[in-house]
Structure formats: structure tokens, C-alpha cells
Amino acid sequence: MTLDPIQVFRTEAVELFEQIESGLLDLLHDLSDHDQIDAVFRGLHTLKGSGAMFGFDALAAFTHHCETAFDRVRKGEVPATSELVAVVLEAQDHMRALVETPHGDHEQAGNRLLARLHAAVGAGAAPGAGAPPPASGPRRPAEAPAATAYDIRFRLPANAMANGTNPLGLLDELAELGACEIRVDLTRLPSLAELVPTDLYLGWHVHLVTDAPRSAIDDVFIFVMDDMELQVEASPPEAEAEPRTAEQAAEPVRRETASAPVPADVKPAKAAENVRVPAERLDELMDRVGELVIAQSRLSQLAHASIDIHLRNVSEDVERLSGELRDTMMVLRMVPVGSLFGRFRRLVHDLARETGKSIELVTEGETTEVDKTVIERLSDPLVHLVRNAIDHGLETPAERRASGKGETGTVVLAATQSGGEVIITIRDDGRGINRERVRAKAEASGLIQPGAALADQDLLQMIFQPGFSTAQQITSLSGRGVGMDVVKKTVEALRGTIDIVSRPGEGSEVALRIPLTLAIIDGLLIRVGKGRYVIPLSAVEECLELSLDEDLRSRGRSFISLRDSLIPYIRLRELFATGTEPELHQKVVVVSTGTERVGLVVDQIIGDHQTVIKSMSKLHQDVVTFSGATILGDGGVALILDVGHLVAAGQKQEAHMRAAG
């Protein structure tokens, strides 16, 4: 399948926007940081050049203004200010619109931003109203006193033109720097029979005389530097073979002739180590690996029932290879959570300006890796939680001073891995959750009876109810009671749980516990009655035996003693209403729900099982005790237990039975 060059550019533009935005936000911490100023300038320069190459002329023209403003900052002509950073951040949103809808009506919005840019850098700093300077004609006369001659040899990768890179654009930019002579290198041109029409075989040798610094030459190749061969050598301008008159020097000269081979000491730059693969292909490959795991399970079952030693050997090899392939596939789908956290720097910056609060965002555990699907689906819930922490949690600078706190509030985004799940925490040092207001709202909404006894965690969980909000008035940030409801639904759809801790006057902490992956997990296959079920192995701590006598003695209290501690347990046979008699030697599977340990009484532990998760049908969406289903080796179906919801349902049933008894 041939990749669409325009789509390739849009993908690269997204990365450039992230790079520019990160540089701008870092620059706010130290407006004199020359490294960040240079990084932003390079990002804008790359975006402008790439946009022009792919025909996004409006993007290139608009970006040129921002690039010129940062060029002036880079040269020390104007200082970097927080207002300039804010304007360029907003200009990025306009650039994104120019990338997505290049033919839309963006002129009016662009003119407003250019006026603000003009004001931010001073009257003399704003570029002219026209487009960027044309790509022909020198910007500096070659006979300038500080002129230097450069011999430049470069060769682009074979797929450069197929990916949208136009070598003529690079040559035009070199011509802008001063007088130059250009020769083409044909030494790697193959015979006609071996020639691939879409490949680039040419190289170039450019003799350039300019008063621009060496860095200006590097800037020309900045967005193709990683994949190309490049050699730049400086020499005195008098070394030109044919002296030229001032009139001749004022115009770039282009002579294209075959040149000698590139010297052997010219080493290609380090090739790109990453390969872009469409997400759809990874999903399709994941599905194939899942089917392979199911087929391997069936093969293992047939092999164990056979006396053929060769079949068993082949089965063991397939099992090993499918396991390795599964692990490799899981790693391919893993994405550092830092890619998610990075999006919130801009959000916090904008909300701080909007609310007038001083806010610092701290991120921890950015290298923790999570399935890409989980990352995509967590984006919206985290936006709601961060906005809620800023609007409801953090106080204004005046309120913080009055309570003895520093004026700057802190929002912490942290990620840690625990077993087979990742815990993402949103923490603030604000006023905390007002429990009286939550209870009053819950009673007014009919969610709880007035004066009803309620555990603290259950009371705090009320904020996730649909339409629930304790805001005094509706603002652009919150108050409609829909955001936290979205958080709960999304986390539950990911088979996750939410824990809340809040201390009045000290702040709040919301912890999202999410499975690392949604595709294939290691599970423990069990039997309850005649049905088979899978418990995620990441939740299993240990397995014990429960005799029939112990089961009968524990009626009414349902606790088992384990190393000087009492652990409650749930009889799955009764919870699932199997209608079967208990086995003589039942088993207890001790599982952890993150906050407590609970035993699940089962009839038989069959063994570990590579579980390919299949979604439940729409008819079973309300059955929260199961998170999905899997196909076993014999073609049967086993339901996958959702440990958190299962324990909650079991405890509710046990309490009901005790109350009835």
C-alpha cells in the first residue's frame, strides 16, 4: 500500500506541533533559555519548509511570521516574553487548522494573531504583510567582507522524493544564502534496466560563497538531516577557480554537470531507528496473534490427549513461539504514559491564564508503559479530572495566602505500575472535597436518604454520579455535572476502578487503576459448577484448599484464617446460582482488588491460560461481574471475571444473606 504523502506530512506536523509546544512551555520557566529559543525556532523552520514542500502554502506563509519573530529573539534583537509565548501557542492552534483544512476560511483569524504577534515583539519585529521571501535570489551579496566559501556535498535517501522531499527546494534555500555553483553527481545512477522510477539516485556538489554563518547551512537541511549524507567544508573565498565580477556574484549560478564520486570518507548520517506503522495495522496484527493463541491452545489440548511424542514436541514449540510472539506484540502496543501527560502542559497553561490562578504541573512516572488503546481512551477522563482539580480544588492566590499556603498551586500527574495494572494518580494541594456539600447535593438529588450512614469512600464516589456537581455556578470549566460521569464510564469500560482520598484544606487525590492491556492477558482457568471462568492472573495472590467441613463451619461468617489474618471469602457457586452441590475439596483463590484481599471459593483450579479477551455483546453490557469472554482450546467459552465488581457484588449478597438470617 502506497502511503499518501499529504497524510505523511500531517503525521509529521503533529510531532512538530508537540515539539514546538513543549519548547514554548519549557521557555516559560526561563525566558532567557537560548536552547529552548533555538528549539522553537528550528521547529517553526521545519514546519514552514515541510509545509511549502507539500503544497501547504498558507501554512508556510503564516508560520514564516512566527519563525521570523523567534529569529529576532534568537539574535537578541527583542526579548522573549510570556506574551510572545502565549501568542505563538495560540498561533499553533491556527497552524493546526491550516494543516487539517488548508482551503478553509482562516484569513481573519490569522490576521488577528499576526496583529498580536506584531504587538508582542514590537513594531519593528513583525514581518511584512506579504508572504515569505521568494526562494530565488540571494539575501546577502557574496562579496561581503566576512564572506566564506563552502564546499557542500549532499545526497538524499533513495525514497526522499516518494516521501515528499523536493531537492530543488533545498537548492533554492542554499541560493538564498549567496552566490553558488551547483553540480549534479551522477555516479550512483544505475542502468535503465535497474532504475526504479520513484527512487532518487542523484547527489549534488554546491560551491557557496556567503557571509551567513555555518549554522544557516545546517538550517537548510534541518528536517532531512537524520537520513541524508552531508559534508560541508569551509575554505577562503579566494580559492574559487574562476574569479567572478561583482555583477556575476550578485546572482546565483547553477551549472549542472557530472561530478566526481563523493569521497569515501563521507559517512551517511545515522539512519532513523523508528518506523511509522498505522495503528490499524497493529490492531489487525493483534487480532491475528489472538487467533494464533486460541489455535495454539487447541493444539496443546490435542497433543496432551495423544501419545504421539512428535506431536507433543511440535505443540511445545508452537506454544513457546506463540508466547514469544504474543509478548513481542504486547511490547509493540505499549506507549509511554508521558505521551499522554505531555498534552496537559498546554491545558494547565491555558487554564491558569483563564482562572487567574498560579498553577504548577508536576508529572511523575512518564516512562511507565500502557497499551496504546488505553492511552487513547484515558485522554478525555484525565482532561475532566485535571480541569476539576484546577476549578474546584485549587484556590486563588489570595485564598492560598490567607490559608498559609504558597501562592502557586500544584497539580501532580503520576503513573506507577503494579502487577498487571497501571495506577494513574491526579493529585492537588487545594482545598479538598467539601463532604457536607457533597452529602447535601446527594440528598437533594435523591441518591441517598437524608441522614443515612455512609462510608467516607462511598460518599466521595458520589461526585461520579450523572449530573452531580457541587459548583455554585456554571462556568466554562465545570458545573454541569457531566465530566466526572464520563470519567467513571470510561474507566469502568476499561475494566478499571477509581479510588478517592481527600483531606480538607490539604487537597485531593484520585487514583485510576487500569489494566495494562485490553487484548491478551494471563489468566487462571477455574471451574464453578459446570461452568468455566478465567480470573486475571495479575489479581491472583495465592490458592488454598477449603475442605467441606471448614466450609460448613464458616457458615454465617465466611472468613478464613491465613497467616494470622482473617480474609473474607465469597462462594461463587452461590453467587452464580449454579444449583450444584459443593465439591468435597473446594479451593479458595485469594485475589487483590487494590484496597483489600478477598477469597473466591471455586470447585476446581484447572490451570493457567493465555486469555484472548473478546468483548461482551450489547445484551450483556449490564452484567458488570464479567469483563469479557474467551474461547478455550476445545471451542468452549469461558467468561472472564471482573474482580473488583465481582467482590462488590459478592459482599452485597453476603450482607443480604446475613440480614435475612
Contacts of 293 by beta carbon, 8 Å cutoff, 6+ apart: 322, 326, 520, 610, 612
Model confidence at 57: pLDDT above 70: yes
210 backbone dihedrals φ, ψ, rounded to 5°: -150, 155
Q: Which cell goes with 376?
A: 487513547
Position 555 confidence tier, pLDDT thresholds 50, 70, 90? low
Higher-confidence residue: 476 or 369?
Answer: 369
Identify the domain containing residue 301 by its residue range: 281-335
What CATH number is attached to the domain comprising 302?
Answer: 1.10.287
What CATH number is attached to the domain comprising 159?
Answer: 3.30.70
Model confidence at 172: pLDDT above 50: yes
Position 458 confidence tier, pLDDT thresholds 50, 70, 90? confident
Using the 3D structure, point to which of 121, 139, 167 is the last residue of a domain.
121
Tell me the one-letter amino acid at 645. Answer: H
| 556 within domain boundaries | yes
Model confidence at 54: pLDDT above 60: yes
Domain total for the chain? 5
| 274 within domain boundaries | no
State the distance between the two ends of the chain, measured CA to CA, in whole angstroms. 68
pLDDT at 544: 87
Tell me the C-alpha distance between 455 and 61, whole Å.
60
| 142 within domain boundaries | no
pLDDT at 628: 81
Whether residues 611 and 646 share a domain: the answer is yes
| Alpha helix segments (H runs only) across 434-482 | 435-444, 456-460
- Give me the percent of the chain exceeding a pLDDT of 70: 82
What is the mean predicted confidence (pLDDT) over 61-90?
A: 88
| 265 within domain boundaries | no
What CATH number is attached to the domain comprising 346?
Answer: 3.30.565.10
| Of the listed ranges 205-219, 502-516, 621-635, the one predicted with least confidence | 621-635
What is the mean predicted confidence (pLDDT) over 395-416?
A: 91
pLDDT at 557: 62
The C-alpha angle with vertex 245 and arms to 239 and 251, in degrees rounded to 5, equals 95
How far, in Å, are 164, 166, 168, 265 from residue 200 at the CA level? 12, 10, 13, 21
Cβ contact 508:461 at 8 Å: no
Whether residues 503 and 393 share a domain: the answer is yes
Whether residues 20 and 157 share a domain: the answer is no
Model confidence at 481: pLDDT above 50: no
Whether residues 226 and 196 share a domain: the answer is yes
Tell me the one-letter amino acid at 512. Answer: L
Whether residues 357 and 503 share a domain: the answer is yes
Model confidence at 476: pLDDT above 60: no
What is the mean predicted confidence (pLDDT) over 84-98?
A: 89
Using the 3D structure, point to which of 515, 548, 580 is the last residue of a domain.
515
| 635 within domain boundaries | yes
Whether residues 175 and 204 share a domain: the answer is yes
| 161 within domain boundaries | yes
Whether residues 168 and 231 share a domain: the answer is yes
Cα Rg of the chain (Å, integer): 33
| pLDDT tens column, 100-144 | 888 878 888 888 888 888 888 874 444 433 344 444 344 444 344
Whether residues 442 and 424 share a domain: the answer is yes
Position 658 confidence tier, pLDDT thresholds 50, 70, 90? low
DSSP, res 582? P
Q: Which cell goes with 631?
A: 474461547
Model confidence at 271: pLDDT above 50: no
Whether residues 500 and 526 share a domain: the answer is no
pTM summary value: 0.62
Model confidence at 244: pLDDT above 50: no
What is the mean predicted confidence (pLDDT) over 46-51?
A: 82
Whether residues 525 and 651 share a domain: the answer is yes
Using the 3D structure, point to which of 458, 490, 515 is the last residue of a domain.
515
pLDDT at 260: 41
What is the mean predicted confidence (pLDDT) over 220-236?
A: 78
pLDDT at 311: 92
| 134 within domain boundaries | no
| 304 within domain boundaries | yes
Whether residues 357 and 499 share a domain: the answer is yes
What CATH number is attached to the domain comprising 37?
Answer: 1.20.120.160
Q: Which long-range contacts (CB under 8 A, 24 or more apart) does 123-128 make?
A: 125/68, 125/69, 125/72, 125/77, 125/78, 126/65, 126/69, 127/64, 127/65, 127/68, 127/69
Whether residues 329 and 406 share a domain: the answer is no
Model confidence at 414: pLDDT above 90: yes
The C-alpha angle with vertex 169 and arms to 166 and 173, in degrees rounded to 5, equals 155
